[in-house]
Amino acid sequence: MTIEKDVQEAQATASAEPAEVTETTETAEATEGITPEQQAQMDDAMRQFTEFMQDIQQTKTELEAARKEVEESETRYARLQADFDNFKRRTRQEKEDLARFASEQLIVQLLPVLDNFDRAVAAMEAQGAQNLVSGLAMIQRQVLDILSREGLQAMDAVGQPFDPNYHDAVMHEPANEAFPDGTVMMELQKGYVLKDKVIRPAMVKVAQD
C-alpha cells in the first residue's frame, strides 16, 4: 500500500506544476546558443534603432514646423508685395493728378473774374454800349483761350437734362413744350470742367411738372 500511495502522490504533484515552468523552458530554448556578448550586441542594436526612430520623428516634426513657417512667410510676403504695389499705384496716380490739376487752384480763383466779364457784357448790351461790349468780349475770349489751353471748359447747361453731377438747381419753374420736366431752363451761373473734373457745377433753373 505504501508503494501505491507514493506513486499516486508523485503523479498528482507532476500534474499540478504551474504553467510558468513551460514558459521558462521555452525561453531557455529560445535563448539557447546566444552568448552574453551577443545578447549585449542585440540590446545595443535595439537601443540604437529606437533612438533612430525617435530622431526620425523629431526631424518630421521640425520639417512640418519649418513648412508652416515658410507658408506663413510667403503669405506675409505676398501681402507686403500687394501693399507695396497698391502704394506705387496710389503714388503714381497722385503724381498724375498733381500734374493734371496743378493749375486748378489758380483757375478756381479766376472764375469770379469770368463771371464779372459775363455780367459786364450783359449790362453793356442792355445799355447799348456796343463799342465797350466788343472790347470786353475780346478780352473775355482771350482769357478763356488761355484757360482752355490749361484744360478748362465752360458747360452748356441750357436745354440739357438736369444732372446733379454737373448742375446745382437753385430754382424751379413749371415745365412747358420747350423745356419738359427735368430740363435746365436757364443758367444763372456758368459751370466749369477742368480736364474732365467738375470744379464748379452750373447754377441753374430747372423745369418741373
The residue ranges of every structural domain in the chain are 41-101, 103-150, 153-208
d(CA 169, CA 187): 10
Q: Is the pLDDT of residue 23 over 50?
A: no
Predicted local confidence at residue 117, as pLDDT: 80
What does the mean pLDDT of the chain come to?
A: 80
Residue 157 burial (CB count, 10 A): 26
Q: Is the pLDDT of residue 164 over 90?
A: yes
Q: Is the pLDDT of residue 78 over 60?
A: yes
Q: State the pLDDT confidence band at 163, using cuts at 50, 70 and 90.
A: very high
Percent of the chain with pLDDT over 90: 24
State the cell numbers at 168.
446745382
Predicted local confidence at residue 3, as pLDDT: 47
Among 20-24, 121-125, 138-142, 196-200, top mean pLDDT goes to: 196-200
Q: In what order do the strands lie in the sheet with 192-194?
A: 152-154, 192-194, 197-200
Using a cut of 0.85, tell me whether the model's pTM lies above it.
no
All residues at 6 or more sequence positions from 147 whose CB lies less than 8 Å from its CB, including other chains: 107, 110
Q: State the pLDDT confidence band at 99, using cuts at 50, 70 and 90.
A: low
Low-confidence winner among 50-54, 65-69, 102-106, 138-142 (lowest mean pLDDT) = 102-106
Q: Is the pLDDT of residue 27 over 80?
A: no
Residues in the chain: 209
Average pLDDT rounded to a whole number, residues 1-14: 51
Q: Which alpha helices (DSSP H) does the chain contain, by range?
A: 2-15, 20-31, 36-100, 104-127, 130-149
Where is pLDDT greater, at 191 or 2? 191
Q: Nearest Cα to 195, choosing from 66, 127, 116, 99? A: 99
Query: Measured in Å, how far apart are the chain's first and last C-alpha atoms?
Result: 142
Q: Is the pLDDT of residue 19 over 70?
A: no
CATH, range 153-208: 2.30.22.10
Where is pLDDT greater, at 168 or 71? 168
Predicted local confidence at residue 18, as pLDDT: 47
Residue 152 burial (CB count, 10 A): 21
Predicted local confidence at residue 21, as pLDDT: 44
Instruction: Give the amino acid at 15.
Output: S
User: Do 202 and 167 contact (CB within 8 A), yes or no?
Assistant: yes
Average pLDDT rounded to a whole number, residues 84-93: 84
